[in-house]
Amino acid sequence: MAIQQHRRISPWGFVGVAGMVAMFFPYAASGLVAPYWAVGVLLVVWLVLMVVTCRWFMPYPKRTLVMPVVALVAWFGAVTAGGVFLDWTA
């Protein structure tokens, strides 16, 4: 009977996923400054980023640290662009 070797799990994957979970709140609260259709698009973008983060959890745990930063930049860029070009107001 073979003894199973356990892979050590990196804590960085958990940090990246926690960051993405924290980024859900600005995306969901965008309804205060963006129309409903834009909030739907933003939530789809967040969901895609979250799926990528979850897929990278085990094979590339340090890459997950970049995803909350990407999510923050994408959210800020979208809300700012909407305010400037599409006249979204609070």
Residue 1, pLDDT > 70, answer no
Q: Spell out the domain ranges in the chain.
A: 12-82
Place of tokens 């892979």: 7
Residue 51, pLDDT > 70, answer yes
Residue 2, pLDDT > 90, answer no
Residue 89 is predicted with a pLDDT of 85
Residue 57 is predicted with a pLDDT of 94
- pLDDT greater at residue 3 or residue 30: 30
**Integer CA distances (angstroms), 69 to 39, 48, 90, in order:** 19, 14, 24
Mean pLDDT confidence for 63-82: 97
